[in-house]
Chains A and B, each alone.
Chain A
Amino acid sequence: MPFKRYVEIGRVALVNYGKEYGRLVVIVDVIDQNRALVDAPDMVRGQINFKRLSLTDIKIDIPRVPKKKTLIQAMEAADVKNKWENSSWGRKLIVQKRRAALNDFDRFKVMVAKIKRGRAIRQELVKLKRENAA
């Protein structure tokens, strides 16, 4: 019941609204009750409201407001990118992105593949039912 992910220096968060939507950022300083200073390797350090952030489980070890170089080094050391892409949340986001980027032909291919998969599953199921009933 008590909270497990806290806003702290080094907490990795996902931006869920605004210009930087979908970007993974690191909280680098807390400005006041509502805003934080965030930074990411490929973005200019800036302030953002907490309401625009979703905290993740990942935390890295950095001093307050580090230089870009130290930030990148710390992110490499903690292997943030891989941890994120292997987490269930990260994987879901990747799948969503892929689905959104399909063109019509890709969607047709997906439809065909789904039908094929469904047929194979139903065949197995019918086989098992027959064995069970007998």
Chain B
Amino acid sequence: MKTILSSQTMDIPEGITVKVDAKIVEVEGPRGKLTRNFKHLNLDFALLDGGKKLKVEAWFGSRKTMAAIRTAISHIQNLITGVTKGYRYKMRLVYAHFPINASIPNNSDSIEIRNFLGEKKVRKVDMLEGVKISRSEKVKDELILDGNDVELVSRSAALINQKCHVKNKDIRKFLDGIYVSEKGTIAEEAYSRYLAVETLIFFLVLSEAEDDSPGDVEEECLAGDESADVVPDREGPDDAQAASRQPHQYVTPLVTGLPGRSSSEWEEDGESQGDGGIAGN
């Protein structure tokens, strides 16, 4: 049965310009420009709200044309992430005995694979337009494919994978090849590196805290992730009570005259140390 009208709207994030004319969609963003042709679909594309929303409509659509609405929107969302975050596909070189020798020329748009399963044949794969390939520095035997268009990046990965199929052997045993290990975006990696640096700073600060009295560790944990703030804050109370606090470790708790510290309070601090020193302990 034909449904008179079915439509779906999607939001376009800030900083992206989308132009649609005669079912050809152009998306422009910080990483460049991507185009996609939807002329094979019988849908209406309309920009609303001055370019902030995109509406896709199907008039008198069968089940299949209505299904195409959401796929068209997903394709456009892929264009948008490609143009903001970019796509990064990681592949691992997997081999049991013969090390796969992969060399990438300077312009990083092709790859040569030698010694796959000990074969003399050299396999050369050209990357598709806009896709750059490189070897990962930190990880052994890893290739990184970068690009804006997810279709081109994933197809380049597939081309590399397909060049290294094993022939005339039991593929359950001969598992050699180049396999896609991770599909992600380029921007996300930058973010995870940022997070790693932040936690590193946090732990460094904590390890300094272990040399001081337990009270400081509690402050540390309460301060949370603002490692930038934690360091200057710590100095304040430290300076004020440094003289009084430092002998605390080496002197028995029965020493009076120290501000706010009695034998009963020791236990509280001990517990807090147990809670607070997650990383230290």
Contacts and interface: CB of A to CB of B under 8 A. Distances in A.
Nearest to B57: A2
A115 interface: no
B1 to A, nearest CB: 9
B4 to A, nearest CB: 7
B188 interface: no
A26 B160 CA distance: 64
Contacts of A103: none
Interface string B39-51: 0000011100000
Nearest to A6: B5
A95 interface: no
Main SS class of interface, B = strand
Interface in B1-44: 2, 4, 22, 44
B45 A1 contact: yes
Contact of A2 (B4, B44, B60): B44
Contacts of B55: 2
A33 interface: yes
Interface in A1-30: 1-3
A109 to B, nearest CB: 47
B44 A33 contact: no
Contacts of B2: 33
A33 B4 contact: yes
Interface in B42-96: 44-46, 55, 57, 59-60
B46 A1 contact: yes
Interface in A26-42: 33
A2 B44 CA distance: 6
Interface string A68-109: 000000000000000000000000000000000000000000
A57 to B, nearest CB: 19
Contacts of B57: 2
13 contacts: A1-B22, A1-B44, A1-B45, A1-B46, A2-B44, A2-B46, A2-B55, A2-B57, A3-B44, A3-B59, A33-B2, A33-B4, A33-B60
Given A1-B46, A2-B46, A3-B59, 10 more contacts: A1-B22, A1-B44, A1-B45, A2-B44, A2-B55, A2-B57, A3-B44, A33-B2, A33-B4, A33-B60
